[in-house]
Amino acid sequence: MNSVRIGIVGAGFAARYHVACLRRVYGAQVEIVGVTSARAESREAFGRAHELPVFEHAAAMLGQVDVLDICSPPYAHEEAILAAAAAGKGIICEKPLTGYFGPAGADGNYRGDRDSKRKMMEETMARLGRIAGAVRKSGTFFGYAENFVYAPSVQKEREIIGKTGAQILRMAGEESHNGSASPTYGIWRLAGGGSLIGKGCHPLGGMLYLKRIEGLARNGRPIRPASVSARTHQLTRLPAYRDAGFIRTDYHDIEDYGFMHVVFEDGTVADVMTGEVTLGGIHDYIEVFANNHRTRCNISPVGVVDTYNPRGGQFKDIYLVEKASTQEGWSRAAGDENFTMGYQGEIEDFVTCAATGAQPQSDLDLALDTTAVIYAAYLSDENRGAEVDVPRV
Ligand SMILES: NC(=O)c1ccc[n+]([C@@H]2O[C@H](COP(=O)([O-])OP(=O)(O)OC[C@H]3O[C@@H](n4cnc5c(N)ncnc54)[C@H](O)[C@@H]3O)[C@@H](O)[C@H]2O)c1
């Protein structure tokens, strides 16, 4: 495949940076065939803004693409994946891979926070089995869009682990900010959960990846997650919560803080913190404590640019950093967020792998393990933190 033809599903936040990154790929030729989304006005506006053809639905686009790039909300991922796999098309899928979205016909009255987490885990595992079966049967390319894997800081740690034969003993990681901008976030039946799945999937995916790299470097076998203990909280819905106006609060039925403690097959551990109650810009890192080194992988902020602005209005046309709620005072600004947060490396890897048939760094197995850990974590939380074995697809 000399040139990779890509069709984008979804016309929101993620689709915007996918287009920006696709247009900077150098390892293969990219043709963005077009975009589709659920709402006519959003796809038309996106098409105009990015000078792309617009399709009414994915089925209309599928015949003209090599890869379907799925940037729709989590509830819509499975349908698009199955359609692409059935048509023998490559797949890029945004995080989280999938999840549980309520019983058939669930409406605005559905409350995921009150539903059985065992049922959710079992149904999610069945869904993962369907996805894995269809993708493997089609033998098509699959890239799981976990940008933490591709952050330059995490790729440097990958090199350190690979070349020194390090054993990771413990890791800590976080993704937090002051609340997602997506209107579908905060509603379990559309997002599949709250902080644990929406944000926790990032540091979790990054840490599962590094443990995988350690095992592959040592004896050609990934080291996989074995069990998880977790707690979640709804801090902005506490009766005692005092809203100062800086943190999003309008969640329907999801947690806005979560903690997961993962134990790997070899007994080593990873701790994930994630929440919607963090001011000061998006807060993303993984810290690795190994037997021969220690690395702090900064993902955001990365400390490339520190700028001081005495009057907010001066910077009104200047992007500083994701989720900064002010531009006044000192800001740790992003030089090139698409690069430092891993989006550019991710899209580069996906396109070149789709063109050559190589295996991407962030693949289906990582997506499956990440999702299984998170739903086992929800079950643990239902039992106030009791340890749960991570099911396998
Ligand atoms: N890797 C990251 O850091 C990151 C950041 C943001 C979002 N995401 C992920 O990207 C995905 C989209 O999130 P977003 O923030 O762009 O959301 P968004 O709400 O900004 O955009 C979603 C788009 O999908 C469209 N859509 C909704 N249902 C659809 C359907 N059934 N079929 C086709 N299109 C549909 C909507 O019309 C909208 O254009 C989610 O899975 C999210 O978790 C990842």
**What CATH number is associated with residue 130?**
3.40.50.720
Tell which residue, 122, 120, 126, 91, has the closest CA to residue 106: 120
Let me know whether 258 and 138 are in one domain. Answer: no
DSSP string, 195-228: HHHHTTHHHHHHHHHHHHHHHHHHHS----EEEE
Report the alpha-carbon distance of residue 115 to residue 231 in Å, rounded: 16
Backbone angles phi, psi at 362, to 5 degrees: -105, 105
Let me know whether 154 and 138 are in one domain. Answer: no
Percent of the chain with pLDDT over 70: 99
pLDDT at 181: 84
**What CATH number is associated with residue 178?**
3.30.360.10
Backbone angles phi, psi at 163, to 5 degrees: -85, -20
pLDDT tens per residue across span 97-145:
999 999 999 999 999 999 999 999 999 999 999 999 999 999 999 999 9
Report the alpha-carbon distance of residue 157 to residue 287 in Å, rounded: 10
pLDDT at 115: 98
Let me know whether 137 and 223 are in one domain. Answer: no
pLDDT tens per residue across span 130-186:
999 999 999 999 999 999 999 999 999 999 999 999 999 999 999 999 998 888 899
**How many angstroms separate the alpha carbon of residue 241 from the centre of ligand 1?**
29
Q: Which helix (H) or strand (E) holds 153?
A: helix 152-164
Let me know whether 86 and 178 are in one domain. Answer: no
What is the extent of the structural domain holding 104?
3-146+345-362
Confidence of residue 75 (pLDDT cuts 50, 70, 90): very high
CA distances in angstroms from 269 to 61, 80, 275, 368, listed in the order given: 44, 34, 20, 19
Report the alpha-carbon distance of residue 76 to residue 84 in Å, rounded: 13
Does residue 300 have its Cβ closer than 6 Å to ligand 1? no
Residue from 54, 72, 149 to probe ligand 1 pocket by mutation (most atoms less than 8 Å from CB) = 72
Please check whether residue 284 is in contact with residue 154, taking contact to mean a CB–CB distance below 8 angstroms.
no
Does residue 73 have its Cβ closer than 6 Å to ligand 1? yes
**CA 315 to chain centroid:** 30
**How many angstroms separate the alpha carbon of residue 196 from the centre of ligand 1?**
17
**How many angstroms separate the alpha carbon of residue 266 from the centre of ligand 1?**
36
Does residue 174 have its Cβ closer than 6 Å to ligand 1? no
**How many angstroms separate the alpha carbon of residue 15 from the centre of ligand 1?**
7
The stretch 50-68 carries a mean pLDDT of: 97
Does residue 74 have its Cβ closer than 6 Å to ligand 1? yes
Which of 1-5, 267-271, 363-367 comes out lowest in average pLDDT? 1-5
Ligand 1 atom 7: the closest Cα is on which residue? 14
Let me know whether 174 and 250 are in one domain. Answer: yes
Supply the DSSP symbol for 99. Answer: -
Confidence of residue 1 (pLDDT cuts 50, 70, 90): low
Does residue 76 have its Cβ closer than 6 Å to ligand 1? yes
Let me know whether 111 and 206 are in one domain. Answer: no
Let me know whether 134 and 161 are in one domain. Answer: no
**How many angstroms separate the alpha carbon of residue 190 from the centre of ligand 1?**
10
What is the position in ligand 1's atom list of the atom closest to the CA of 183? Answer: 19
pLDDT at 215: 98
pLDDT tens per residue across span 351-386:
999 999 999 999 999 999 999 999 999 999 999 999
- The answer to whether the Cα torsion of 148, 150, 153, 155 is positive or negative is positive
Residue labelled with tokens 């995916």: 205
pLDDT tens per residue across span 11-40:
999 999 999 999 999 999 999 999 999 999
Does residue 21 have its Cβ closer than 6 Å to ligand 1? no
**How many angstroms separate the alpha carbon of residue 254 from the centre of ligand 1?**
18
Name the domain count of the chain. Answer: 2
**CA 18 to chain centroid:** 13
Average of per-residue pLDDT values in the chain? 97
**How many angstroms separate the alpha carbon of residue 284 from the centre of ligand 1?**
20
